[in-house]
Structure 1
Amino acid sequence: MSWAGKLLRVNLTAGTVKSEPLNMEWARAYLGSRGLGSKYLISEIDPKVDPLAAENKLIWATGPLTGTMASTGGRYTVITKGPLTGAIACSNSGGYFGAELKMAGWDMVIVEGKSAKPVYLHISDDEAELRDAAHLWGQSVWKTEEILKSSLQDPLIRVSSIGKAGENGVLFAAVVNDLHRAAGRSGVGAVMGSKNLKAIAVRGTKGVGNIRDPKAFMKTTFEKKKILAENAVTGQGLPAYGTQVLMNVINEIGALPTRNHRDVQFEGAKDISAEAMVTPRESDGKKHLVTNQACFGCTIACGRISKMDEGHFTVQNKPQYWGANGGLEYEAAWALGAANGVNDLEALQYANLLCNEEGFDPISFGATVGAVMELYEMGVLTAEQLGIDAKFGSAQALAHFAEITAKGEGFGKEIGQGSKRLTEKYGYPDLSMSVKGQEFPAYDGRAIQGIGLAYATSNRGACHLRGYTIASEVLGIPVKTDPVESEGKPELVKAFQDATAAFDSSGLCVFTTFAWGVADLAPQLQAACDEAFTTEELEKIGERIWNMEREFNNAAGFTSKDDSLPKRLLTEAAKTGASKGMVSKLPEMLPKYYAARGWDTEGRPTAETRARLSL
């Protein structure tokens, strides 16, 4: 059946650690990872709880295919009520931690309460205990992992931890594993820090042995890996260039948000693109990109390993950053680069390393810096306040802001609250490019209409990974739709959102969906778990998960008014590119989306929809 069949419940207030059987009825209705973890969270907390209060809970959840030989079976999610948004937060990560947790025999870890002092959770197969973390508090993610591997005398232990950002209450703090993989968005790391939980260190030696039909599973996973290998995106583009392959593509069609969304094309995009990463530098003749890297069980290997120019101003006296490190991915490169008008690839890599090292989301950080730079150019913020001249395009300002946000010093404390709170404080809330308080990723909703609707309706705030319509609107997968056309987009967005919920909950990576549909996921789950997981059933599970998340947000106080976009996207037309003269057509798409979802005009699931989905 592929689930381990048990979860670990950790009460930090009492200092207790207990094993519980997994609710298998829920597992069959919500799969695992995102779906099942969210079901547990929603069943156990008050939707109106303060995200940073002890009463909020934090869940690490694997899926039924996590730790198996299915391609990309290394994913896990961290689920909580998010401090950045106040909405449900569910952040997905790769690397090796998720598979290790599953191989130790656990589907989930539910953390509740708050410890009186810093602790970490040590798991070795069936044995689990809370241990003192006084020696780890104040350490970076990288140092924490190094200390734990050394003190526990196990180089193969896997660590999921927070850095200074999580400790200091940065509202977009991440939970980082394997040095450069992160449950990055919505502030899950801030919740971990508020509970005085520094890390989870896990070692699993059991494997995942309870596959329902091992021969059928081997056969179907082999067939599906072949599809990934032969696909232009998963077999060629992502392995060669990583997600950064999109930088020039999105810029050329006029959908690259630039200088806090004032523009939709960045004249410096080519300097921070995948192509730039593989071109020898003028300064030292070496390439920025060293190699690619894969997460557990992944046959795509889209991860980047990069080496900085040792003479660059950001690192010339910091040899700790001279080695090969986790490299830039598209969203981070956009947020640290185009969003701020910065075209210095090395400065972007430096800021990205600080995000990894101290555990904070480069998307929200970079987008918040974009708002800061606009406020500075307007004269609302001064160099005295910021500690630096912060015009759009300043690599020095970007590096400075990354350093002070990582340390929680000076104006960095305000940046760490995110763009919504920062722009409200200084009287210009419309300059926060966010939905429900979470900053946009790297696509403009005027130039790509479907993604604008996906941002507005995402349950965790603005997000591209909750319904990646870019696949259809830009790449033509599975069918090509016109990015500037709004007709048909409500139905497209719903279909992507539901399918993604199913993939997220299985324990596999959403990048497989460039080549696979739900019909490719179904036989893998049938062989591993249960023949009941048909394509139709998985589509229904995805829709059930989406509606469950929506109902939690409604109960937390969100309404249809929160399914909106910043004024800039609704009233300021794009100046260049294919969408020149256009704004987002959200007002005409949203009612059709509600109708497609089976919701009332206020965005609430109807009684009929709830009954159909067994909510």
Structure 2
Amino acid sequence: MSWAGKILRVNLTAGTCTPEPLNMTWARQYLGSRGLGSKYLVEEVDPKVDPLSPDNKIIWATGPLTGTMASTGGRYTVITKGPLTGAIACSNSGGYWGAELKMAGWDMIIFEGKSPKPVYLYIHDDEVELRDASHLWGKSVWDTEEILKTSLQDPLLRISSIGRAGENQVLFACVVNDLHRAAGRSGVGAVAGSKNLKAIAVRGTKGVGNVRDPKAFMQVTKEKKKILADNAVTGQGLPKYGTQVLMNVINEIGALPTRNHRDVQFEGAKDISAEAMLTPRPTDGKTHLVTNQACFGCTIACGRISKIDETHFSVQNKPQYWGASGGLEYEAAWALGAANGVNDLEALQYANLICNEHGMDPISFGATVGAVMELYELGVLTKEQIGIEAPFGSARALCELADMTANGIGFGKEIGLGSKRLCEKYGHPELSMSVKGQEFPAYDSRGIQGMGLAYATSNRGACHLRGYTVASEVLGIPVKTDPHTAEGKPELVKAFQDATAAFDSAGICIFTSFAWGLADVAPQVAAACGEEFTTEELERIGERIWNMERAFNNAAGFTAKDDSLPPRLLTEPAKTGPAKGLVNKLPEMLPKYYQVRGWDAEGRPTPETLARLGL
């Protein structure tokens, strides 16, 4: 069985590190990573806990396929109660860190309490120790990684850390590993910062040697990698263009949220698209994109490595940003670009670098800036309050606000609250484009109806990665559905949500689902872990995880009223494009969704549903 069978419990208050056997009953019921980590959190944390108090816990968790030869088997998740939303938070990351933890012999690390001083956790296989991080506090993610590798004389260390945003309690701070891979959403980095936990440095030399049937596992992973290679999305589109391939596609169908969702199409989309990243610049003849990059074990390689134009205003006299580094992905490019009406590709890259360097979620940051720009244009916020002119389309404002937010300076502290709290503070809560306090990603739900229902019901607040119906409604995967109709969407959303929970929990990347279904994942998990993991069992595990997360949120105080969308999406029709005249049909979809889920009219899992799922 390809679990390591061991977790590490770290009491930051007492400064102790204690190994424990993994609860194998739970592992079979929840698989790993998102599901298993959430099970531990739900069992150990009061749903009403203050997310930034020592009583909250934060968990780094791998899946059974993490560290194996399964394609994309490098994923890990960070699970806690999120400060941005007050709901269960579970943020997924790629890169190499997750596989390194697994190869050191650990499935999961649970942090509890609060350290009296900044610390980092050092792990070298079975050697574990909390160490002083006073010299790292105040440092960026990039500096933290370099200092630890140099001082510990081990260039092969893998680092998962927070930057200044997490230290400053920016409510959408993230945890970053491998310089630019992030457990990005819901503020998991702020929780680490509240505990004075700076980083986890891991070196693993054990490998993952306990796969149940190695021969069968090698054969099935080889077969499934071929499916990825032969698929138009995972074999061609994502390797060449990255997720940015979606910019022009989503703009053309009239579902690219623009200027804080005032519009559904952005006239500058072509300037910040994947194609623009591959076009030589007039200034130096070089392309923005340097190369693509893969995470551990990944055969897709959708990651972007980019190089900023050294003559751009954002990096003049800042040579530290001139080298090649993590490039724009679709969600970040949208949030920093179209959401604010900014079509300056280099400005977007600079703001993205600041988010990577200091550990901030670019989606929530960019979307919050969009709300600020609308408040500025309405005259609610002034230049004196913000410190700069901040109209829609201002690349300079975007770059300056990124610096201010990351460093907790001036109006940056207000942006660090997220759009919900900021808009409430200035008397316009309706201008926060969020669900449960978490900002929307890059799809307008007037043009893609299923995404509205997915956003409204997502357990971690607005999210595209909890039920990506764009695959079906836009790309025709696994079947084509009409993006403009509400019909059939409750069933579609539930199917995507449950399947995604199983993919996440296995320890593989959700992008494989463009080519794979659960029928492709099941034989890989079965060969690695046990024959009981059939397609039907993975479906049931996914549904079990979704309902467990929902029950936690209900106990935390969330009700059916929180399964909503901002008034703009429900009452202001799209002005242009194929979805012109449409609003989101959430009121039509939500009651049916509750029925399909086996929940009551208040959005609570019924006793029958809980019993059926063993909850």
Q: TM-score range by the shorter chain?
A: over 0.9
| Counterpart in the other structure of 2:581 | 581
Cα shift at 1:285: 1.0
Q: How does 1:39-50 map to 2 (within 5 A)?
A: 39-50=39-50
| Counterpart in the other structure of 1:98 | 98
Q: How does 1:16-415 map to 2 (within 5 A)?
A: 16-415=16-415
2:388 & 2:426 partners in 1: Cα distance?
A: 18
* CA offsets 1:512-533 (integer angstroms, 9 cap, x no match): 0000000000000000000000
1:466 aligns with 2:434: no
Cα shift at 1:282: 1.1
1:534 aligns with 2:534: yes
1:577 & 1:57 partners in 2: Cα distance?
A: 46
* CA offsets 1:270-308 (integer angstroms, 9 cap, x no match): 000000000001111110000000000000000000001
Gaps of 5+ in 1: none
| Counterpart in the other structure of 2:550 | 550
Secondary structure of the residue aligned to 1:146 is helix
* CA offsets 1:554-595 (integer angstroms, 9 cap, x no match): 000000000000000000000001110010000010000000
Aligned-residue identity in percent: 84
1:549 & 1:309 partners in 2: Cα distance?
A: 44
Secondary structure of the residue aligned to 2:315 is coil
* CA offsets 1:466-491 (integer angstroms, 9 cap, x no match): 00000000000000001011100000
1:321 & 1:268 partners in 2: Cα distance?
A: 25
1:602 & 1:162 partners in 2: Cα distance?
A: 38
* CA offsets 1:486-543 (integer angstroms, 9 cap, x no match): 1000000000000000000000000000000000000000000000000000000000
| Counterpart in the other structure of 1:606 | 606
1:73 & 1:247 partners in 2: Cα distance?
A: 27
Q: Which amino acid in 2 is paired with 1:416?
A: G
Secondary structure of the residue aligned to 2:480 is coil
Q: Which amino acid in 1 is paired with 2:480?
A: K
* CA offsets 1:193-212 (integer angstroms, 9 cap, x no match): 00000000000000000000
| Counterpart in the other structure of 2:488 | 488
| Counterpart in the other structure of 2:437 | 437
Cα shift at 1:11: 0.1
2:49 & 2:316 partners in 1: Cα distance?
A: 46
2:137 & 2:61 partners in 1: Cα distance?
A: 24
1:177 & 1:469 partners in 2: Cα distance?
A: 28
Secondary structure of the residue aligned to 2:121 is strand
Cα shift at 1:225: 0.1
2:284 & 2:426 partners in 1: Cα distance?
A: 43
Secondary structure of the residue aligned to 2:291 is strand
* CA offsets 1:84-140 (integer angstroms, 9 cap, x no match): 000000000000000000000000000000000000000000110100000000000
2:194 & 2:611 partners in 1: Cα distance?
A: 38
Secondary structure of the residue aligned to 2:299 is coil
* CA offsets 1:360-416 (integer angstroms, 9 cap, x no match): 000000000000000000000001111111010000000010000011000000000
1:568 aligns with 2:563: no
Gaps of 5+ in 2: none
Secondary structure of the residue aligned to 2:235 is helix
1:71 & 1:277 partners in 2: Cα distance?
A: 27
Cα shift at 1:329: 0.1
1:609 & 1:412 partners in 2: Cα distance?
A: 45
Secondary structure of the residue aligned to 1:290 is strand
Cα shift at 1:59: 0.1
Secondary structure of the residue aligned to 1:532 is coil
1:504 & 1:320 partners in 2: Cα distance?
A: 35
Cα shift at 1:316: 1.5
2:139 & 2:17 partners in 1: Cα distance?
A: 25
Secondary structure of the residue aligned to 2:314 is coil
2:612 & 2:536 partners in 1: Cα distance?
A: 13
1:478 aligns with 2:478: yes
Q: Which amino acid in 2 is paired with 1:71?
A: S
Secondary structure of the residue aligned to 1:487 is coil
2:170 & 2:316 partners in 1: Cα distance?
A: 28
| Counterpart in the other structure of 2:417 | 417
Secondary structure of the residue aligned to 2:354 is helix
Secondary structure of the residue aligned to 2:364 is helix
Q: Which amino acid in 1 is paired with 2:80?
A: T
Secondary structure of the residue aligned to 2:225 is helix
| Counterpart in the other structure of 1:517 | 517
Q: Which amino acid in 2 is paired with 1:260?
A: N
Q: Which amino acid in 2 is paired with 1:299?
A: T
1:161 & 1:564 partners in 2: Cα distance?
A: 34
2:132 & 2:307 partners in 1: Cα distance?
A: 35
Secondary structure of the residue aligned to 1:292 is strand
1:386 & 1:238 partners in 2: Cα distance?
A: 38
Secondary structure of the residue aligned to 1:267 is coil
Cα shift at 1:147: 0.2
| Counterpart in the other structure of 2:456 | 456
Q: Which amino acid in 2 is paired with 1:338?
A: A
Cα shift at 1:318: 0.5
2:374 & 2:491 partners in 1: Cα distance?
A: 36
2:348 & 2:504 partners in 1: Cα distance?
A: 29
Secondary structure of the residue aligned to 1:314 is helix
Q: Extract structure 1 runs of 4+ deviating beyond 4 A.
A: none
